Amino acid sequence: MQLGKLSMPSAPSSRYFPPLSAPPTLSMSISTTLPPAPVPSHTGRPPALSCASIPPPTPRPPRAHGPSEIIPRLYMSDLAVAESAPALAALGITHVVSAMRGHVALPKDDPVLLSTLGGGAGAGIVHAVVPLDDLPFSELAAHLPAATHFIRGALRDPRARVLVHCAEGISRSASVVAAVLIAEYGWEAERAVMFVKSRRLGAEPNVGFVKQLQEYADSLKKCGAFPASRPASGVAFGS
């Protein structure tokens, strides 16, 4: 778009303008006092917590700190007992089942322990491992046939004493011991677990293990290996 030439207006003719008077002075009183700022309803920060508003930590349930005899010659404990030569010697332990993963410093060559076991060739603790994590979905059931066979076979010898342990002596070892009661005495899982809990303070198999224990009992029934139910008290093992 082209723009045409702009014509400039001619200079105005000379005219007389009277002098301007000064503008009137305005008088205003401006207050500099500002009203208080409103308090926001939400500052974006969580309210400060007082000590009174913090709930106390949930106390851990009491539990046993030493070995527990579940049935005659079958014991349950935590890792500390399994790694203590004096504790094993005092109980006369001949077989140890470790229901856990990780290293277990079993004092197999301790001279005091060896002397307790009779010394000589072949003396020493027989050790079996059930590699388990204490998680509801850990495959407990797959290990139970071999674990119960080992423990029941050991206890056929009246001189044998078996210790089943895990890290804390709460869930994994309790589950393995309960499986022994199921296989030996023909108990349902609930009865076996309750019996173990009555003999060891704090024993508590996790919910997944309890379910697998009942599946183990059902599998014994299906294959005809589930014995007639009998009490553990006053009955010699294997009779």
Q: What is the DSSP secondary structure assignment for residue 136, as one 8-state letter?
A: T
- Residues 23-75 have pLDDT tens digits of 554 444 444 455 565 555 555 666 665 655 666 666 666 777 799 999 999 99
**Residue among 94, 123, 73, 92 nearest 238 (CA):** 73
Q: What is the pLDDT of residue 2?
A: 46
Amino acid at 164: V
Give a yes or no: residue 146 inside a domain.
yes
Q: What is the pLDDT of residue 227?
A: 84
Q: What is the pLDDT of residue 202?
A: 95
Termini Cα distance of the chain:
117
Residue 181: domain span: 68-222
Choose, from 130, 164, 166, 196, the residue flagged as catalytic.
166
Which of 25-34, 137-146, 166-175 has the least mean pLDDT? Answer: 25-34
Is the pLDDT at 238 greater than 70? The verdict is no
31: how many CB neighbours lie within 10 A of its CB?
5
Q: What is the pLDDT of residue 205?
A: 98
CA distances 75 to 24, 178, 213, Å, are 109, 12, 19
The H or E element that residue 74 is part of is: strand 74-77
Which of 34-38, 111-115, 174-178 has the least mean pLDDT? Answer: 34-38
Cα separation, 128 vs 66, in Å, equals: 21
Give a yes or no: residue 237 inside a domain.
no
Cα separation, 163 vs 77, in Å, equals: 7
Cα separation, 141 vs 217, in Å, equals: 10
pTM metric for this prediction: 0.72
Give a yes or no: residue 2 inside a domain.
no
166 part of the active site: yes
Give yes or no for a contact between 113 and 125, defined as CB atoms under 8 angstroms apart: yes
Q: How many domains does the chain have?
A: 1
Which residue blocks in the chain are alpha helix, DSSP H?
Answer: 79-82, 85-91, 111-116, 144-155, 172-185, 189-199, 207-222
We report the CATH number of the domain holding residue 92 as: 3.90.190.10
